[in-house]
């Protein structure tokens, strides 16, 4: 299920997101803090990377740090805020140097590539809904990078905004397919090919009139099966879909540039 974000105390959340990463040692009474927000977030990210978002619980994070679940509540208001922090810190990992010196198109391509890699390294990112903005430094960083690269097209910023959002969606959608292909293979133990084979046999048995009911899909399916490969199929497919969708989108951008500068 998609994890929601950002409905707790706004000020507290924002302070956690933007506050200094290393807190100055407290000068008051009481025992020294044994943990820190950053340590908690890092542990949570480790867990999510290794075992997926389903394994992320306050208990599991606490255990990894040698504490109980409740110990975390001293540092973090709740799980949603923790997820926000994980999301934002991870987005902050995106490299920022995409010089448009070689033209906006190649910069956009390598930026999209970096985004793809980022999501594949942290597949749980895809289970955090991007719709409600977190408004943290990482998110701003990504937006700034995307916007500034696409702004070098010369298009008005208000249109660049749409381009950015479409590009982001295309990347997210296709990398999601790739990530879940991997995850599924690992979790079910079934290789993807075996899974697919079993399913299509079942389909043929239970729905004999499949090709008649969905002719175009069937046509596509047969053309696909004719060209097998050693690579995991769905993952390669996702990568191709990513590249093709991106090209399509950038062609659209190019057309928009021509249209905007053409009738001068």
The vertex-114 CA angle with 55 and 259, nearest 5°, equals 130
Residue count at the site for DNA (CB under 7 A)?
Answer: 28
- Burial group, residue 36, by CB count within 10 angstroms (0-12, 13-18, 19+): middle
Task: Compare residues 80 and 176 and give the one whose CB is closer to DNA.
Answer: 80
CB-CB neighbours of 202 under 10 Å: 10
Name the one range near DNA by CB under 7 A: 22-30, 102-110, 222-230, 251-259.
22-30
Q: How far is the CB of 75 from DNA (least distance, A)?
A: 6
Distance CA 88, CA 197 (A): 39
CB of 107 to a second copy, least distance (A): 14
Give the shortest CB-171-to-a second copy separation in angstroms.
Answer: 9
Q: Which of 132, 191, 194, 231 binds a second copy (CB under 8 A)?
A: 132
**Cα 116–Cα 121–Cα 126 angle in degrees, nearest 5:** 70
Residue 211 interacts with, from DNA, a second copy, none (CB under 5-8 Å by kind): none
Within 38-67, the residues that bind DNA by CB under 7 A are 56-60, 62, 66-67
The interface mask with a second copy, positions 169-198, x = CB under 8 A, is: xx-xxx-xx-xxx--x--xx---------x
Closest CB to DNA among residues 71, 94: 71
202: contact with a second copy by CB under 8 A:
yes
Which window, 21-29, 84-92, 103-111, 126-134, contacts a second copy (CB under 8 A)? 126-134
Two tokens at 165?
A: 């959002």
Helices (H), the chain: 10-18, 37-51, 58-64, 79-91, 104-121, 137-151, 157-188, 192-206, 210-213, 215-225, 233-261
Residue with tokens 């009474």: 29
Give the binding-site size for a second copy (rule: CB under 8 A).
80
Task: Select from 24-32, 87-95, 102-110, 168-176 the region that touches a second copy (CB under 8 A).
Answer: 168-176
- What is the pattern of x (binds a second copy, CB under 8 A) and - over residues 44-83? ---------xx-----------------------------
Identify whether the C-beta of residue 87 lies closer than 8 Å to the C-beta of residue 17: no
252 binds a second copy (CB under 8 A): yes
CA 120 to chain centre: 7
Whether the CB-CB separation of 5 and 134 falls below 8 Å is answered with yes
The DSSP code sequence of 72-96 is GGGT-S-HHHHHHHHHHHHHTTS--
| Tokens 């701003």 sit on residue | 140
Instruction: Please tell me the distance from the alpha carbon of residue 241 to that of residue 235, in angstroms, as a whole number.
Output: 10
Question: Contact with a second copy (CB under 8 A): which of 38, 117, 143, 239?
Answer: 143
- Does 19 interact with DNA (rule: CB under 7 A)? no
Cβ distance to a second copy smaller for residue 73 or 162: 162
Residues found near DNA in the complex (CB under 7 A): 26-35, 56-60, 62, 66-71, 73-75, 78-80
């Amino acid at each position: 299920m998609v994890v929601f974000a950002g409905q707790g105390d706004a000020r507290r959340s924002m302070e956690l997101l933007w506050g200094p990463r290393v807190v100055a040692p407290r000068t008051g009474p009481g025992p020294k803090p044994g943990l820190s927000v950053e340590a908690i977030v890092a542990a949570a990210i480790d867990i999510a990377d290794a075992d997926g978002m389903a394994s992320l619980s306050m208990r599991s994070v606490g255990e990894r740090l040698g504490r109980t679940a409740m110990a975390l509540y001293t540092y973090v208001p709740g799980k949603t805020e923790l997820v926000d922090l994980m999301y934002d810190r991870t987005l902050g990992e995106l490299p920022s140097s995409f010089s448009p010196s070689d033209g906006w198109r190649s910069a956009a391509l390598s930026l999209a590539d970096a985004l793809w890699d980022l999501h594949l390294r942290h597949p749980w990112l895809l289970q955090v809904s991007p719709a409600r903005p977190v408004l943290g430094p990482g998110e701003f960083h990504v937006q700034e990078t995307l916007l500034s690269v696409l702004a070098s097209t010369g298009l008005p910023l208000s249109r660049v905004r749409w381009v950015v959002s479409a590009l982001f969606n295309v990347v997210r959608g296709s990398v999601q397919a790739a990530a879940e292909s991997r995850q599924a293979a690992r979790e079910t133990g079934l290789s993807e090919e075996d899974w697919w084979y079993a399913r299509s046999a079942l389909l043929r048995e239970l729905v004999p009139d499949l090709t008649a009911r969905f002719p175009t899909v069937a046509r596509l399916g047969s053309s696909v099966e004719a060209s097998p490969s050693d690579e995991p199929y769905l993952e390669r497919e996702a990568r191709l879909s990513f590249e093709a969708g991106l090209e399509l989108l950038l062609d659209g951008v190019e057309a928009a540039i021509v249209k905007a500068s053409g009738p001068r």
